[in-house]
Structure 1
Amino acid sequence: MKKNLLVAQSGGPSAAINATLCGVVEMGLEHPEIEKIYGVKNGIMGMLSERFVDLTELLADESARQLLCQTPSSALGSCHMKLSPWEENAFEYEKAISIFRKYNIGYFMYIGGSDSMDTVHKLSEYCRNHHINDIKIIGVPKAIENDLPETDHSPGFGSAAKYIGTTLTEIACDCNVYALPSITVVEIMGQDTGWLTASSALARLNGDAAPDLIYLSERPFSVEQFLFDVREKMMEKRSVIVAVSEGLRNEEGAYLTDSLQNRVEDEFGHRILAGVSRFLEEILRQEIGCKVRSVELNLMQRCASHVASATDIQEACTMGREAVRYALEGGSGEMACLRRVSEAPYASEVFFIPVDQVLNRVKKVPDEWINEEGNDITQEMMDYLIPLIQGEIPCAYENGVPVHFHLS
């Protein structure tokens, strides 16, 4: 009996999450045992509200899928909804299963980060404990912060890293114009990890010196040492550029931004951070007194498809395809991962692990990939990053701006 395939996106958007969706749809279209491919708007929240869209015809044409791959953010929309443990409240799970039955869903692909993998785990555990064996649920990761454990890297990270490296080169071109001394502090996403901030060093690949200093979330941050480091650099050059993770903490473990805002958390208990660059800007202005500016890259880090990494997009698409293949073979309750199988030339492969292996864990930058002073990265970090940003994807333009795929 033919079954239908359901796919949803959740968590923060990225430049590669639609490529994963494209891979899911492509594999679904290739297999006759899948009758229809449904997308659901706004993740698990939309699924429980039956906000379905039939992708079978909508993405049947290759040109539509190609446009989807070059479109940033989540074409199906997103959500941040946390399911209650099914042992405490089974209502949402009973409703989910009834909806799966209504639409004859045999395969559910959930594309997202660590919180989305929590949803995959809970739904698949509910099915296992209630002997529901005909619905296969697979987690397909995306995480621009690259903080998911077990996988070498997550789709979306490579494109974000490429954007950050590119942007730092352009910031350096601007800052180096003037004869007067200046300091520019660039704030980069990373609440508990510094993978994206480390990628700012990619700006050096073609001869630029920026950034001059790099501070990651993994190391305690000392304001006194920071001022010392900046002053030392200013003895060497007139324009100093500093890259910092948004989640910098002091020696006591408190976020530097705790004094600036209320301690707001999202539904999964994650702190909502912003403002560390402005905080440091004010300190530098008071202590050093030259021209100081802060730059917060913000949303642009995850939605800059015009400088997406072809390697990232290709891996994202492959991961979506392999997730469907694995579900068709009977896999469920697992997450797709990437493993490096070759460095020169670079190559990777997809494998699967039980999704509970990634829950409540964070993959941090290895300490040995941070220099001894804690203000830069090592060559090992660069060697890790460089293969992930290679290649560019076609970008269709109309009226002078990129064209994007829209579901409606």
Structure 2
Amino acid sequence: MAGKNILVMHGGGPTAVINASLYGIVAEGKAHSEIAHVYGAHGGPSGLMNGTLIDLSSMDDSELVRLRDAPGSAIGTGRDALAGHYPAMVELLVKNKIDIVMPTGGNGTMNTCALLQEAINEAGVDIQVIGVPKTMDNDIAEIDHAPGYGSAARYAAQSVGEVCCDVHSMPIHIVVVEVMGRAAGWVAAATALAETCGQGGPDLIYMPERAFDQDAFLADCQRIIDTKGGGVVVASEGLHYADGTPIVEPVMEVERATYYGDVSSHLSNLIIKHLGYKARSEKPGLLGRASTALRSESDVREAEEVGRAAVRAALAGETGKMVGIQRIPGDVYGIETNLIDVERVRMIERLLPDTFINEAGNGVTPEFKTWAAPLVGELPRFVSFL
């Protein structure tokens, strides 16, 4: 069968919608006679290196459509150390007759796109590179938001809304909920939308964009105790002091991946020790990025669309680009895709802007809530007679 061959490589942690983007790539590829095969690299770039490629375009459509609802990565992902391996990767792409590579991931994966494109240019071969954005952290530059964020934000917001109901029912302690977010507090900020569930939102939200002040934190918690008797605090896993030191020593660091200690446990212990009050910690961890039960439907649609847009961009002859998502101005939410040079997004972390964080640094602004609401979707509203 004549036509070009696409190779999809997943990088970094999965999201609740990474497979929706994969589905979009395969479905769009099968819709064009110019595309012969769509392959998936088993376990990320290592799949290319060891020759384990999965022919996705040969699979039945009834099986492929189930990708839209599958958590994790259906082809596997990884955090492979690729420095020094790019020339060999190009040789393997040529050997396997790959014409288009679609790395799917965050700003680190976009760096892989840029380095792979450089190696391809140096080798003088005709292979295109199109990056597909993916991250629950929402820290990719140059785009309105990343596929994967809306679902992580919805999970965090609804889960915290449910915890708020619990604490509202029996206000005898402070509950500290820790959410993922290494350097950016996008997911933590989204928990402010829990207030739409009808039992109030988190009383305090601490994000890594602001240095953690232990005295201020304890004073904030004491006010909750004095006025309400109980409350909910949300904290990003990447909280740090003014000198950049994490508030809890990381358990382990491998390449760019940092495995943080239990921030929520540390904060709840501070409350118990210094304020003499009941506190407990909750840490959803991977549940926050794996849940398909609480994912955002707009996130699913947009993830599929960026996959389809990547194929269309490749067919148009583009290379060295990442598919972007831009919000269409207006009262009604809508997005459109565009193409962004990977040089503009590689290894750049997009943080919460100051306009989204309140003056005290322990919550968000109405502007953030307006921005985030359509990404999360309508949350359930819970009844209470209290």
Which of the five TM-score ranges fits, normalised by the shorter chain?
over 0.9
For residue 122 of structure 1, what is the aligned residue in structure 2? Answer: 115
Check whether the contact 2:108–2:347 (CA below 8 A) recurs between aligned residues.
no
Are 2:234 and 1:243 aligned? yes
For residue 82 of structure 1, what is the aligned residue in structure 2? Answer: 81
Amino acid at match of 1:148: I
Check whether the contact 2:164–2:232 (CA below 8 A) recurs between aligned residues.
yes
1:270-312 alpha-carbon deviations (Å, 9 max, x no partner): 4321311111111100112222100112001100111111100
1:87-120 alpha-carbon deviations (Å, 9 max, x no partner): xx4xx33432332223321111111112211211
| 4+ runs deviating over 3 angstroms | none
Are 2:38 and 1:51 aligned? no
For residue 128 of structure 2, what is the aligned residue in structure 1? Answer: 136
* CA positional deviation for 1:145: 0.5
* CA positional deviation for 1:243: 0.4
Q: Give the match's secondary structure for 1:302.
A: helix
1:211 aligns with one of 202, 209, 218: 202
* CA positional deviation for 1:391: 6.8
Check whether the contact 1:9–1:78 (CA below 8 A) recurs between aligned residues.
yes
For residue 246 of structure 2, what is the aligned residue in structure 1? Answer: 255
CA distance in 2, matches of 1:327, 1:230: 53
For residue 71 of structure 2, what is the aligned residue in structure 1? Answer: 72
CA distance in 2, matches of 1:359, 1:307: 30
1:380 aligns with one of 352, 367, 378: 367
CA distance in 2, matches of 1:293, 1:300: 19
CA distance in 2, matches of 1:308, 1:388: 10
CA distance in 2, matches of 1:79, 1:142: 13
1:217-249 alpha-carbon deviations (Å, 9 max, x no partner): 101111100111111122221221000111111
For residue 326 of structure 2, what is the aligned residue in structure 1? Answer: 339
CA distance in 2, matches of 1:328, 1:391: 37
1:167 aligns with one of 129, 143, 159: 159
Are 2:354 and 1:354 aligned? no
Are 2:291 and 1:304 aligned? yes
CA distance in 2, matches of 1:94, 1:251: 41
For residue 382 of structure 2, what is the aligned residue in structure 1? Answer: none
Q: Percent identity?
A: 36
Check whether the contact 1:125–1:333 (CA below 8 A) recurs between aligned residues.
no
RMSD value over aligned CA atoms?
Answer: 1.5
Check whether the contact 2:21–2:303 (CA below 8 A) recurs between aligned residues.
yes
For residue 320 of structure 1, what is the aligned residue in structure 2? Answer: 307
Check whether the contact 1:9–1:43 (CA below 8 A) recurs between aligned residues.
yes
Check whether the contact 1:7–1:109 (CA below 8 A) recurs between aligned residues.
yes
For residue 93 of structure 1, what is the aligned residue in structure 2? Answer: 86
Check whether the contact 2:113–2:130 (CA below 8 A) recurs between aligned residues.
yes
For residue 35 of structure 1, what is the aligned residue in structure 2? Answer: 36
CA distance in 1, matches of 2:228, 2:152: 29
- Give the TM-score normalised by structure 2: 0.94
Amino acid at match of 2:254: D
Where does the alignment leave 5 or more consecutive residues of structure 1 unmatched? 393-408
Check whether the contact 1:82–1:119 (CA below 8 A) recurs between aligned residues.
no
Aligned residues: 378
CA distance in 2, matches of 1:161, 1:12: 16
For residue 170 of structure 2, what is the aligned residue in structure 1? Answer: 178
1:281 aligns with one of 227, 248, 268: 268
CA distance in 2, matches of 1:359, 1:243: 29
CA distance in 2, matches of 1:251, 1:94: 41
Amino acid at match of 1:77: G
Check whether the contact 2:109–2:346 (CA below 8 A) recurs between aligned residues.
no
Amino acid at match of 2:48: M
* CA positional deviation for 1:343: 4.1
